[in-house]
């Protein structure tokens, strides 16, 4: 795991965990279109998963721990690889021109950083309610709808930028994970890239739909 290839594998696996989370998270978000009740029920269900076999919120906590560990490992690997890259080229080029197309590949690092910062804000807003008008002791759906209230259009804007960045990050990240884990080859490249783009697009649309709907008053 200490080798550069090992770290890349860590990024790929942890990235996969996070993608899995994002897919579920997005599906959950979409419940808002079925009404506040439905959304709140979903949020509640998460906490009571596998009850009464498991105690209240235990499964969710385990999942959250896996997620946090993944985030930390993903960032650790990214930072140490970035540091390694910096050490590998101490003197910069006077002129440097990229030859590989793919805007997404070149924004992985600061894109990832921006997403990380956003996640902090996001948690403070909708999970802990610290920066949310409704505060922590409110129903999840209330926090969500209040959070993206038309008056708080800039929150929606931040969200939009972040989600688009996530999309770009994944467009490269998903196929890159396959490459890193050694499952890619010439014959599969096209399909893999298409899959990565499709997945990213679905996630972007899925995540943007609820806040935009709220901000523009479609969902109240």
Partner 1 sequence: MNLTLKVWRQSGPTDAGRMVTYKVEDVSPDMSFLEMLDVLNERLIIEGDDPVAFDHDCREGICGMCGMVINGVAHGEQRATTTCQLHMRHFEDGATITIEPWRAAPFPVVKDLVVDRSAFDRIIQAGGFVSVPAGSAPDAHSVPVRKEDADSAFDAATCIGCGACVAACPNGSASLFTAAKITHLSLLPQGQPERLTRAKAMVDQMDAEGFGGCTNTGECTAVCPKGIPLDTIARMNSDYLQANKK
Residue 117 beta carbon to partner 1: minimum distance, rounded to whole angstroms: 21
Does 172 engage in binding with partner 1 (CB under 8 A)? yes
| Rounded Cα distance, 219 and 95, in Å | 51
Residue 171 beta carbon to partner 1: minimum distance, rounded to whole angstroms: 12
Residue 199 beta carbon to partner 1: minimum distance, rounded to whole angstroms: 17
Of positions 49, 60, 113, 184, contacts partner 1 by CB under 8 A = 184
Residue 97 beta carbon to partner 1: minimum distance, rounded to whole angstroms: 4
Does 150 engage in binding with partner 1 (CB under 8 A)? no
Give the footprint of partner 1 on residues 100-119 (CB under 8 A): 100, 102, 105-106, 108
Size of the site for partner 1 (CB under 8 A): 41
Comparing CB distances to partner 1, the nearer of 108 and 139 is 108
| Rounded Cα distance, 101 and 122, in Å | 32
Give the footprint of partner 1 on residues 20-79 (CB under 8 A): none
Decide: 78 and 112 in contact? Cβ < 8 Å: yes
Residue 110 beta carbon to partner 1: minimum distance, rounded to whole angstroms: 13
Residue 45 beta carbon to partner 1: minimum distance, rounded to whole angstroms: 37
Of positions 61, 127, 151, 185, contacts partner 1 by CB under 8 A = 185
Of positions 123, 183, 191, 216, contacts partner 1 by CB under 8 A = 183
Comparing CB distances to partner 1, the nearer of 132 and 180 is 180
Of positions 52, 53, 96, 217, contacts partner 1 by CB under 8 A = 96
Angle at the Cα of 204 from the Cα atoms of 199 and 207, rounded to 5 degrees = 120
For every residue of the chain, which 3-state class applies, written as one string? CCCHHHHHHHHHHHHHHHHHHHHHHHHHHHHHHHCHHHHHHHHHHHHCCCCCCCCCCHHHHHHHHHHHHHHHHHHHHHHHHHHHHHHHCCCCCCCCCCCCCCHHHHHHHHHHHHHHHHHHHHHHHHHCCCCCCCCCCCCHHHHHHHHCCHHHHHHHHHHHHHHHHHHHHHHHHHHHHHHHCCCCCHHHHHHHHHHHHHHHHHHHHHHHHHHHHHHCCCCC
| Residue ranges that bind partner 1, judged by CB under 8 A | 3-9, 81, 84-85, 87-100, 102, 105-106, 108, 172, 175-176, 178-186, 189
């Amino acid at each position: 795991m200490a080798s550069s290839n090992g770290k890349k594998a860590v990024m790929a696996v942890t990235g996969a965990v996070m993608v899995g989370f994002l897919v579920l998270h997005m599906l959950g978000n979409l419940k808002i279109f079925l009404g506040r009740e439905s959304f709140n029920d979903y949020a509640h269900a998460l906490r009571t998963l596998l009850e009464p076999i498991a105690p209240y919120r235990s499964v969710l906590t385990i999942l959250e721990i896996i997620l946090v560990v993944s985030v930390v490992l993903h960032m650790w690997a990214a930072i140490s690889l970035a540091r390694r890259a910096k050490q590998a080229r101490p003197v910069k080029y006077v002129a440097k021109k990229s030859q590989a197309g793919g805007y997404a590949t070149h924004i992985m690092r600061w894109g990832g950083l921006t997403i990380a910062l956003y996640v902090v804000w996001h948690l403070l807003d909708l999970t802990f309610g610290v920066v949310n008008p409704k505060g922590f002791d409110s129903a999840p759906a209330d926090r969500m709808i209040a959070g993206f209230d038309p008056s708080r259009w800039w929150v929606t804007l931040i969200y939009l930028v972040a989600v688009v960045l996530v999309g770009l990050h994944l467009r490269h990240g998903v196929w890159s994970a396959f490459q890193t884990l050694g499952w890619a080859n010439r014959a599969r490249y096209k399909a893999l890239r298409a899959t990565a783009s499709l997945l990213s697009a679905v996630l972007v649309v899925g995540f943007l739909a609820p806040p935009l709907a709220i901000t523009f008053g479609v969902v109240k």
